[in-house]
Amino acid sequence: MPSYRDFQATPRFESTVALSLDGSMVAYADDASGQFNLMVRPTAGGPPRRLTTFSDNTVRHVAWHPDGRSLVFLADAAGNESTQLYRVDVGGGEVAALTDTPGVQYAAALGDPFSPDGRLLCYAGNDRVAQDQDVLVRDLASGTVHRTYAGGGQVWAGHWSPDGSRLSVAEWVDGMSHHIVYVVPVDGGPAVRLTPESVAPATYWLGPWLPDGSGFLVCSNSGREFAGLAVMDAATGALRWLDSPDWDVEEVTMSADGRVMAWLVNVDGASELRARRWPTGGKLDVPPLPAGEAGRLRLSRDGTLAVLQLSTPTRPRNLLAVDLAAGELRWLTGATPTAADPNRMAEPELVRYQSGDATPIPGYLYRPLDVSGPLPVVMSLHGGPQFAERPTYVGIYQYLLANGIAVFAPNPRGSTGYGKTYQTRLHRDWGGVDLDDWAAAVAWLRSQPWVDARRIGLFGGSYGGFGVLSCLSRLPDVDWAAGAVFFGISNLVTVANAAPPTWRSMVATQIGDPDADATFLLSRSPITYADQIRAPLMVIQGANDIRVPRQESDQIVQRLREHGIEVRYDVYPDEGHGFAKTENQTRSMSDAAEFLIAHLIAPTNLGVTGEEVFTPFA
């Protein structure tokens, strides 16, 4: 029989890509070394070179200097998310730290962080006041740093104007539903707000400036249900729509010569690449992408080459080059499942079921190949919540399928990609409408003749872990077979109180005020109903997690142990929110899969009811 390790993607890629201006080299981070390190490789083909040799630090983001000779990147240590800036030559050599402020989080610009002449670097950081993220500009030659914007809130650096005199910036009042856009003079003049207070909250994902400096591209749902592609006037904030589909435009980029723009559209979960010439508007014939999820789109200076990351249900995330001149696709990397045969893997079916109020809820259904029912099913609940299940490769899904277990991954209200109303419906209603949608999902599963209603399990992490704990504790009549949780939220009051300082406004919008709304939040918290949990549970936690601190797992584990419920608790001392080290990722997913398989296929008492299990892999 195969093991989970056979299905682990090898290597994994961090969600970052940088392309040299001439398009000849691409930079990224993969975990081929056992940790996410910085890599470069030719786009025309050839072996990669590793530029960092970290064992504890994790490379999170990378940008290519306009001169082509150096890279700037962000990295944190042991999952603590205190990301710092570093610089390294493309040819290799010593890594130079540009910042070294423990406890402070520096953040990459949303676009190219380098000024057009390469002298200045813009980024964001909360080094002045913990709860505010300012925009900073650093002179790379002298090391001098000045604060370009310090108006309060979580503010992100956007893109440089073509003449290097201005920056677009965005304040994230709520990261996924309410942005305020400013143009800031780099010389220290007053910021100009472009989104008037009279306009309803909307998203404005900042894109590059137009070559003449009159405005910049944005992906926005202002006045719309879905995010379209528009030009925002840099003086008035007026929007001129370029593409307004009934799906979300998710990313946009433009070539450095200003002649080509390209963007990605989420069409019912699958990514579609579109491109056009500027300013003529002539549409470019773009080869269709394999059906999956794409991101981190980059263009060469002349716009003839696009590079992005792409994953399909049977192919892990890889780098893909799109030759826009020839209309051809070419894989730049070859990550595969370690040993499993992709030809024996299942593709998902996109289905829709009705929630209790008749709202159609989409979800991805994976059924084992050549296996007849009645079958056990694992319901997988995604994180976020402003995120979505997409048709991508998930190793644990394919491993469960290989063991005769189906997987159903719904996108309840609160998920992205289905419109503004659908996404924001969950605001300050966690454990409400989402629980209704999960209850309807399991009811739909139990109505299917091929499903064994006695063998339905749950899997999820972060907000998805909140979902698992909510279903186990508040839907006890389902008679769940088992649950596996990665860093799951058990108490909405304590997790809101522990939120990182720069997240406070977002937490208030999405979850609620932990003081004023404490009674309500406790009524929606799994910890309140923990005595109703009867199913065996596995809990996995990173000790350095700042998003869902360890106390969230400690609380639920303690309550279950007090009531004699089978629970296994594994704490990883060198990880945070999402596991970076390859062995930790593989071990934790393997253990979660085996726990579910044991209780859904051949139930035995595999629970650990003593002290938590520490699994360090230095």
Over residues 230-258, the pLDDT tens digits come to 999 999 999 999 999 999 999 999 999 99
pLDDT at position 112 over 50: yes
pLDDT digits (tens, 9 = 90+) for 373-405: 799 999 999 999 999 999 999 999 999 999 999
Q: Looking at the domain assignment, is residue 392 inside a domain? A: yes
Q: Looking at the domain assignment, is residue 513 inside a domain? A: yes
Mean of pLDDT values over 262-267: 98
Q: Looking at the domain assignment, is residue 176 inside a domain? A: no
| Residue 399 tokens, joined | 């491993």
- State the angle between helix axes of 433-447 and 463-474 in degrees (0 to 180), rounded to the nearest 10: 70
Mean of pLDDT values over 119-133: 96
| Residue 225 tokens, joined | 């249900």
Q: How confident is the model at residue 602 (pLDDT cuts 50, 70, 90)?
A: low
Distance CA 530, CA 589 (A): 24
Contacts of 177 (CB under 8 A, 6+ apart): 201, 202, 203, 386, 420, 423, 424, 427, 509
pLDDT attached to residue 188: 82
448 φψ region: left (φ > 0), alpha (ψ -120 to 50), beta (else): beta
Strands 155-160 and 145-149: unpaired
Cβ 210 vs Cβ 242: under 8 Å: no
Burial of 554 (0-12, 13-18, 19+ CB in 10 A): middle
How far lies 241's CA from each of 162, 171, 228, in Å?
21, 22, 7
Q: Looking at the domain assignment, is residue 112 inside a domain? A: no
For tokens 């990605």, name the residue: 264
DSSP letter, residue 200 = P
pTM for this entry? 0.95
CA angle 428, 158, 175 (to 5 degrees): 5
pLDDT at position 617 over 50: no
* Residue 447 backbone phi and psi in degrees, to 5: -85, -10
The CATH number of the domain holding residue 475 is: 3.40.50.1820
* Residue 474 backbone phi and psi in degrees, to 5: -110, -5
For tokens 């060469």, name the residue: 300
Distance CA 453, CA 457 (A): 10
Domain count, the chain: 1
pLDDT attached to residue 608: 36
Distance CA 595, CA 99 (A): 43
Distance CA 412, CA 309 (A): 26
Distance CA 584, CA 184 (A): 43
Please give the residue range of the domain that contains residue 456: 349-614
Handedness of CA 274, 277, 282, 284 (dihedral sign): negative
pLDDT attached to residue 99: 97
Closest to 499 in 3D by CA, of 44, 53, 154: 154
Distance CA 161, CA 115 (A): 8
pLDDT at position 609 over 80: no
Closest to 539 in 3D by CA, of 469, 470, 599: 469
pLDDT attached to residue 407: 98
Distance CA 275, CA 285 (A): 8
H/E element, 534: none
Mean of pLDDT values over 144-171: 96
Burial of 379 (0-12, 13-18, 19+ CB in 10 A): buried
Q: Looking at the domain assignment, is residue 65 inside a domain? A: no
Query: What average pLDDT does the chain have?
Result: 95
Distance CA 119, CA 149 (A): 19
Q: Looking at the domain assignment, is residue 429 inside a domain? A: yes
- State the angle between helix axes of 582-600 and 395-402 in degrees (0 to 180), rounded to the nearest 10: 30
Q: How confident is the model at residue 613 (pLDDT cuts 50, 70, 90)?
A: very low
Q: Looking at the domain assignment, is residue 165 inside a domain? A: no
Residue 521 CB: number of other CB atoms within 10 A? 24
Cβ 272 vs Cβ 264: under 8 Å: yes
Mean of pLDDT values over 480-486: 98
pLDDT digits (tens, 9 = 90+) for 497-526: 999 988 988 999 999 999 999 999 999 999
pLDDT attached to residue 169: 97
Q: How confident is the model at residue 268 (pLDDT cuts 50, 70, 90)?
A: very high
pLDDT at position 605 over 50: no
> pLDDT: is 605 or 412 the higher one?
412
First-residue to last-residue Cα distance in the chain: 29
pLDDT at position 306 over 60: yes
| Residue 439 tokens, joined | 């209850």
| Residue 228 tokens, joined | 């379209």
| Residue 35 tokens, joined | 């940790």
pLDDT attached to residue 532: 97
Distance CA 483, CA 464 (A): 11
Q: Looking at the domain assignment, is residue 89 inside a domain? A: no
